[in-house]
Structure formats: structure tokens, C-alpha cells
Amino acid sequence: MPLDAKSLGRALDEDLTLHSTLCRREAGAFQQAVKTGADVVVACTQEKRLFGELGAQTEGAVSPIRFVNIRETGGWSRDAKSAMPKLAALLAAAKLPEAEPVATVTYKSAGRLLIVGPLEQAERFAALAGDALDITIFSRGGNGAQERRYPVVGGRIDSLTGWLGAFELKWSQDNAIDLDLCTRCNACVAACPEGAIGLDYQVNALACTSHRDCVKACGVAGAIDFAREPVAHTETYDLVLDLRLQPGFTQHAPPQGYFHLPPGQESSPRALDVVIKLRELVGEFEKPRFFAYKQKLCAHSRNEQVGCNACIEVCSAEAISSEKSRQQIKVNPNLCVGCGACTTVCPTGALTYAYPRAAEQGSHIKTLLTTYEKAGGSAAVLMLHSQEAGQQLVEAVGRAARTGKLQGVPANVIPLPVWHVASTGIDLWLTAVAQGACHVALLTTSEEAPQYLVALQAQMQVAQAILEGLGYEGTHFSLLRGTDAAGLDTQLQLLARRRGGTPKARARFAVSGEKRTTLELALDHLLEQAPQKPEAIALEAGAPFGGITVDKDKCTLCLSCVGACPASALQDNQLMPQLRIVEKNCVQCGLCVKTCPEDAIALQPRLLLTPERKQPRVLNEAKPYACIRCAKPFGTLKGIEVMLGKLAGHSMFQGAALERLKMCGDCRVIDIYSAQNEARITDL
């Protein structure tokens, strides 16, 4: 790899001591470096374990150690001679501090394993798991071993819920043969004249004609009882191995501690991997609480009306549920897998990604782009990929390039590993473009749920429409589908030629913890530098920007929409009957549409770019209606007229009662009281 310490030092604003032959031959130099207190960057992840242990064992070591891969991500590429700006950017980002710690979610597992499936296969896996686990088998039968080493229960599964350390199985014991009492002597099989009992020790109710010879044959064991009523049971387990064809959890991301291994995979490499993982999941474990939730910003529901359901629909772990009576959603942190898709589709920022935080992700992106440009790089393409499958695929391309089989990661494509590609959205993408990225690509693999890809594509269409409306040429966003190294290499070569337009002056703002604040900063900068400045950009339905239109003939200015708006986009006026909107606050959740009793409101997806976007704008106004008794305004002329028209034919609103509807609340009470007094005097 062509590494130049002076060039890298200029780009990083510091003097560098460069050791370019790593592995064990540089161990002495590494030990000396970690004693100096200066930042030490090991620019190779292959020997991360070696150097990490060496640093921990070195007496007097005080330097922070960072690891970054510059070998497979650019140094081993046909463009390696031009990759110095990218290498400088990767080194600069590697020196950033680690993400700040957040609250954690704890799992406790004592190793109680439930294996569900055919008895023979279940016993085989139980034997592989060994004595490290406390195993119970749930089976509808099968040809099990003569020696019964594990408790066996059977029946009809009513529900299987939970997560690592807290699975709950509810089942009904509905088979006449109790598998736990059964000795597998096969006397019942031989005795049954209809052949209704097989070696799975289940009674075929359709074939059985109630001879009950099997009951007599069972004798002392007493395992067969046709009079037994189905008994409901509930048991808890720490781990579940499901050997059935259809899994017990159908979501794309099943709970941690649950493994599905369908028939036909008993001898596959994955089977051994599953057994190893099961044995490892005994003890106490922690993971970050990946999300933060602010209920006051949530657009999910108001007044029992559901508006935004985006997070619930996109969650592949089914960790999010609706609590519309409490005007909020509920996230189960034990089921959450940290993909972050809910935070990127959330239009208001009520759900935010907590580890790493948006500000930390933004700092990483800004460091990469500014260092790359400072080192002489141009046409930066930012490629986000997952830390697991995505990282492995990128490294596979780099290794193949080292041997000349592939071309490798191009010099202007900057890889950025993230926990999950769905954890970044339109706010960070537009910020990256404002800071100089001519293209932002997301590398997807088989890890991503189908709904993630749909959601990411929809956000990209919104972001692209905004940039096109502002006159920035080219395509700025794309999804890469990674299946193998050769296919990804071909896509990378095409990606390197993407040349989306960028602002002449680079944005220098820091990403905020508030999603809408970051979006506003990015949009303001992109508009300021835009080649074109239209009044508004039309967007597709579902975009998180826009306003509403109001049918003034229908609207009575009841202002129920103002109370329903979660983003304070709709406002009233305390001085006169008015409905106003601050369009920059509108997230197009639709709660106002569903709340309006007159069906007078329609959503208008767009991005308004005039100064009016940030100022209250009147959508409808009306003359106030004055109380006929005291002349105090208490409603709108149209609203009172509509009410009078609807109630005029009602038997309870005739004569004086109808006239009271034209009075304010105080005068209405006085008038009723006066009428009652007059009636008493008349009676006297």
C-alpha cells in the first residue's frame, strides 16, 4: 500500500510516526508507542486481538488505542495510488472518541432450554447440547430413544412468547398418552387392533374405535388415560430451539434466545453453530438500550384517533405496539434488536437512535468528509454498511483485489460501518450532501427485513426529489444489494462514477439530537447554495413535509384539529377566530384529517421554501358571533349557524331553548335561572 507519512500528517494536522509492517514484528514499537500517551491508531483489524492484548499487558501503557481497516477498504485496490485522501479520512475518524455509554437492557439465563419438535431430532440436539443446559422436550411424538434422559411433554401449543431468559410456553395436554410417563415399551402399539398408535406415541383419534386395549396393555405405567380432560399448563424457559417446519415466531427478527432450525438442516453447519450459541447463552448479558422516546413529540394518536403508524409497521422484531388510549406507542426493549428503522421513519423525532446518538454519527460523517476534502479528495461517495455482513462483504472485495481477482473499493468510496444501515435516514443523508458528499449509498445484505428496504427507498425518493427541486444535478442516493464479493465489486465501480451536485460552500453545522432541527439546518444550507430556488417542491404522499388545505365552506373553525396536532403546526389565534399553520412543523401525520368532524381538511405534501414556511399563515378565519344578551363574542358566525340549523328541528331546542344557543355560557345560565324564578312567581 502506498502510504506517505508526510501527506497523511498534513491532512491530519499532526506529525505522524508511521510503522508500515504490522503483525508481530512491530510489537516492540507498538509497546513503546502506547507508553507515550499520544493517540495510537492500528490501521489494520486483522491483528486487533493481538495488539489489544499486548496493549493491556504493557506496563505503563496510557495511550488510547483505536483500530481501523484501511487495507481492504482502499489500500488493496487498483485505485490505491489515489486513495490517500480516503485513508486520511478513515484514520481521522478512527481517532474520534467512542460513543458515550447509554442505559442497558439486561438478560439473565440459567440455561433452561425448551426444544420443540419431533422426538428423535429433539433428543439428538439435546445430546449435542450436553449437560451445560437444563433441557425439556416438547413433542407431539416421534421415534425417540429407549433411554429417557430428558423430561418430555406434549400436547397443543397455545402460545409461545418472550425473549432470552423469559420465554413463556402455554400449552394444553390433550393427548391420551402422557409422554413423560410412557416407558416406550410399545405394548400399546402392539395391542391396538386399528393401528391408531404409532411409534410417535400419539393416538390417531380418527382411527381409534375405543377398544381401549392399549389402556390394559399399559398396565402399571398408567400413561394412557382417555378420560383425561385437556389440562392447561404454563412453563417458563430461558432458551428455545424450534425444530418444526413453521417457526413459533414469524417476525423477521425473532427474539434473542430463540433459534429455528427446520427439518432438513440437522446436519448443516448452521446446526452446529446453533448448538454452540445455545451453550454460550448461560449467564447475565447486557445490550444497549438503542432507542429514546419522547411521548410529547409522538404523532401516533390523539383523542383515540390513530395518525402515524410508521414505527409499528416497519419494526421487524414486533417490539413496538400501540397504546392509543395513552396517545403513545410502547417499545419493548427486550425485543428491540437495535436496527433503528423506527427512528428513521419517525417524522417528528419522537423516537431517536441512542447508541450511537445522531450527534455522534453526524460527527463521524463530518470528520470523514472534511478530512477527505482537505487531503485533496474529490467527488466523495459515502457508503454505509452494517458491522456484520456488510463489513465481511467489503473486506472480501478488498482481499480479492489484493490478488488481482477484483478491482477493490474505489478511491473515492468511503466505507462507514454502522450498527445497521436502517439506523440512518433523511436527516443524516441530506446533512452529508450539504457537507460535500456527492452520493450516499447504503449497502444492504440478507440481514435487512423487506420492510426496511421499502422504507429506505421511500426516504431516498423524498430526499432526491428535494435536491432535484433545488437544481442539484445527478443522483445522490442509492441502495446497493450485496450478495457476493464479485457482484458488489461491479456495483462499486459504477458507484465511484456517481457525481451528484453538491453546494459550493460546505455546511459546517453539527448534527442535532433533534431530528427536525437537523433537517432544518440541512435544508436551509442546501437552499442557500441551491442553483434553483422555487417557491415549493411537490412531494409524494407519505413525505414528512407539507401543509394542509382547508375547505372554507365546510370548516366551522371548531379548532379540533389544533388540539389534535402533535407538532404545533396548527394554531389558533386568541384574539380572533382563525386557523393558522406553521408549515415547517407539519409532519403529515394526518391526525387533523381524521379528527375534523366536517371532513374539511386534506394533506398537501410539499416542501415550501419561502419565508412563510416558518411563520404562522392563516388557513381560515371567520367573523365572531356575539352573544345576543351581552354582545360578548363566544364563537364563529358560521359555527353557530350550523349548530342552529342542526338543532332547530329537535324537540328539546324549541322557543327559548333555541334562543339560548345564541348566548354565551354565562348568559345561558342566567337566562335559565331567570326563567325558573319567573315560573315560581307565576305559580304563587
Q: Are residues 193 and 278 in the same domain?
A: yes
pLDDT at 142: 63
- Residue 5 pLDDT level (bands cut at 50, 70, 90): confident
Packing angle between helix 358-374 and helix 515-528, nearest 10 degrees? 30
End-of-domain residue from the set 334, 353, 372: 353
CA–CA separation, 326 and 303 (whole Å): 9
pLDDT at 130: 79
CATH label of the domain that carries residue 543: 3.30.70.3270
Q: Would you say residue 684 has pLDDT above 60? A: no
Q: Are residues 386 and 482 in the same domain?
A: yes
Per DSSP, helices labelled H in 58-148 are 84-94, 119-129
Cell of 504: 459550493
Does a structural domain hold residue 280?
yes
CA–CA separation, 613 and 617 (whole Å): 8
pTM: 0.86
Q: Are residues 442 and 579 in the same domain?
A: no
Mean pLDDT of 387-414: 95
pLDDT at 236: 97
pLDDT at 205: 79
Does a structural domain hold residue 529?
no
Cell of 5: 507519512
Does a structural domain hold residue 190?
yes
Cell of 481: 444489494
pLDDT at 383: 97
Q: Are residues 612 and 469 in the same domain?
A: no
Does a structural domain hold residue 512?
yes
Q: Would you say residue 229 has pLDDT above 90? A: no
Cell of 4: 506517505
pLDDT at 683: 65
End-of-domain residue from the set 328, 353, 378: 353
The count of C-alpha atoms lying within 13 angstroms of the C-alpha of 164, restricted to the half-sphere facing its C-beta, is 26
In the predicted model, what is the mean pLDDT of the chain?
91
Does a structural domain hold residue 73?
no
What percent of the chain lies above the pLDDT cut of 90? 63
Write phi, then psi, for 338 (nearest 5 degrees): 80, 20
E strands, 399-514, where? 413-418, 439-444, 477-481
Q: Are 57 and 44 in contact (CB under 8 A)?
A: no
Mean pLDDT of 106-110: 97
Does a structural domain hold residue 533?
no
End-of-domain residue from the set 621, 641, 668: 621
Tens of pLDDT, residue by residue over 152-203, are 888 889 999 999 999 999 999 888 888 778 887 889 989 999 888 877 777 8
Q: Are residues 508 and 366 in the same domain?
A: yes
Weakest mean pLDDT among 448-452, 568-572, 656-660:
656-660
CATH label of the domain that carries residue 215: 3.50.50
pLDDT at 147: 65
- Residue 245 pLDDT level (bands cut at 50, 70, 90): very high
User: Reduced to 3 states, what is the DSSP secondary structure of residue 171?
Assistant: strand
Residue that has been written with the C-alpha cell 490501521 in this structure = 43
pLDDT at 146: 58
Q: Are residues 558 and 588 in the same domain?
A: yes
Tens of pLDDT, residue by residue over 624-640, are 888 888 988 887 777 78
pLDDT at 677: 76
CA–CA separation, 258 and 274 (whole Å): 10
Q: Are 647 and 662 in contact (CB under 8 A)?
A: no
CA proximity to 203, closest of 161, 249, 154: 154
CATH label of the domain that carries residue 319: 3.30.70.20
pLDDT at 181: 82
Tens of pLDDT, residue by residue over 481-534, are 999 999 999 999 999 998 899 999 999 999 999 999 999 999 999 999 999 999
Domain of residue 333, residue span: 289-353
Q: Are residues 311 and 381 in the same domain?
A: no
- Residue 542 pLDDT level (bands cut at 50, 70, 90): very high
Q: Are residues 512 and 546 in the same domain?
A: no
Q: Are residues 563 and 446 in the same domain?
A: no
Does a structural domain hold residue 158?
yes
Does a structural domain hold residue 1?
yes
Q: Are residues 14 and 129 in the same domain?
A: no
β partners of residue 73: none
CA–CA separation, 15 and 5 (whole Å): 8
Tens of pLDDT, residue by residue over 286-299, are 999 999 999 989 99
Q: Would you say residue 21 has pLDDT above 80? A: no
Q: Are residues 435 and 393 in the same domain?
A: yes
Please give the tally of structural domains in the chain. Answer: 6
Q: Are residues 516 and 501 in the same domain?
A: yes
Tens of pLDDT, residue by residue over 634-671, are 877 777 888 888 888 888 888 888 888 888 888 988 88
Mean pLDDT of 118-143: 86
